[in-house]
């Protein structure tokens, strides 16, 4: 039943939260990170999206990854967790939905069996990242126009993700780039009580992601 979730432990020790009845086509949702090496958490932005998208796409299954450690200093381990999640989710066809640092993680993990597409939400695509793993696959990017890094506030500029997207296109990776005007870095945040609070333009994010899922 859509709305009910199951949490499974991955072979790496990370966790996967499964939502929805679909299992042939899986959307594996990959969290962002930070410099500090802290224990993984569920992404507020991805959780908010899954709660709204799953009822409208009952043909799809959604799988959210909680890393062992969510830090770009442990990027290899985050990629290992995501690779294990792809296997555990068991989709014949898989889309990786990567938020922020999860964009880089998803690109690196895209060589996994059955992965057809990467959809980056405000993705971090570092200049040193190669695109060999995207051979035969597709990269789509959605970014907020007001996203940027500020002291004490995480962010990835749209110019940065556009530069990465253009490099992928030059490497003959098909895809699209969508800019959401007025949107920040992320879709939702978690309040101290645990409630999810949507950020400005959250509904626009949902519509843009839903349109991508409809073509998967």
Quick: pLDDT tens for 185-212. Answer: 999 999 999 999 999 999 999 999 999 9
Cβ partners under 8 Å of residue 153, min gap 6: 185
* pLDDT at residue 153 in the model: 66
The tokens 């490497």 sit on which residue? Answer: 171
Average pLDDT over residues 68-77: 91
What is the residue-averaged pLDDT of the chain? 94
Measured CA angle at 115 (ends 109, 118), to 5 deg: 70
**How far is 23 from 91, CA to CA, in rounded Å?**
5
User: Of 105, 63, 100, 61, whose CA–CA distance to 80 is shortest?
Assistant: 105
**How far is 98 from 119, CA to CA, in rounded Å?**
6
DSSP H or E segment with residue 50: helix 44-53
**How far is 73 from 176, CA to CA, in rounded Å?**
29
Average pLDDT over residues 161-180: 98
- Cα atoms found within 13 Å of the Cα of residue 12, Cβ hemisphere only: 22
The gap from C-alpha 32 to its chain's centroid, in whole angstroms, comes to: 8
Architecture of domain 5-214: 3-Layer(aba) Sandwich (3.40)
């Amino acid at each position: 039943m859509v709305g009910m979730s199951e949490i499974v432990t991955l072979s790496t020790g990370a966790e996967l939260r499964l939502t929805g009845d679909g299992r042939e086509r899986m959307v594996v949702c990959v969290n962002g990170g930070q410099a500090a090496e802290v224990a993984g958490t569920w992404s507020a932005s991805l959780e908010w999206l899954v709660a709204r998208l799953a009822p409208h796409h009952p043909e799809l299954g959604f799988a959210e990854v909680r890393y062992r450690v969510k830090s770009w200093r442990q990027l290899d381990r985050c990629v290992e967790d995501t690779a294990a999640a792809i296997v555990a989710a068991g989709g014949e066809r898989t889309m990786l939905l990567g938020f922020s640092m999860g964009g880089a993680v998803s690109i690196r993990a895209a060589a996994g069996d059955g992965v057809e597409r990467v959809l980056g939400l405000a993705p971090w695509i570092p200049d040193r990242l190669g695109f060999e793993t995207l051979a035969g696959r597709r990269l789509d990017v959605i970014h907020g126009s007001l996203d940027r890094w500020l002291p004490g506030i995480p962010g990835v500029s749209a110019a940065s993700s556009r530069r990465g997207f253009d490099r992928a296109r030059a490497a003959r990776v098909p895809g699209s780039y969508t800019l959401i005007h007025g949107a920040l870095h992320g879709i939702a945040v978690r309040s101290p009580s645990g409630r999810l609070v949507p950020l400005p333009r959250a509904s626009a994010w949902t519509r843009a992601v839903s349109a991508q899922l409809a073509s998967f």
